[in-house]
Amino acid sequence: MAKVGRPRFIMDWDEFDKLCYLQCTITECAMSLKTSIDTVERCVKRKYGVNFAEIFKLKSSGANISLRRKRWQMAMDGNTQLVLHLSKVMLGEKDEINHSLDPVTVDVNYKAEWDK
């Protein structure tokens, strides 16, 4: 008996890994791989046993590591704005902004020159 239906899509897993590393959405992955979102989801489920979101978390974390490494190196190379940013993020420091106003006194008996 002959097989019916469309042939099974063959996923380019190297390309898929690169797209996840670049933190592409499932829509962008599908577009780049020239297939549908559903097909990407099915292929991921078949290979890894989890949905796209789960495997994306794992495969996209490499980009975060690279970005942190680059940001850290730029700060250590003297980028003062990055040093300040990292201090705020990593050390919990923040700019202190004083929004308080000095009390204002009003003389209710004041008469302007033109009112006299």
| Sign of the CA dihedral running 47, 50, 37, 67 | negative
CA pair distance 59, 15, nearest whole angstrom? 12
CA pair distance 101, 78, nearest whole angstrom? 37
pLDDT of amino acid 4:
82
Higher-confidence residue: 77 or 94? 77
CA pair distance 97, 112, nearest whole angstrom? 36
Q: What is the mean pLDDT of the chain?
A: 87
pLDDT tens profile 52-66: 999 999 999 988 888
CB 33, CB 70: distance < 8 Å:
no
pLDDT tens profile 93-104: 777 777 777 777
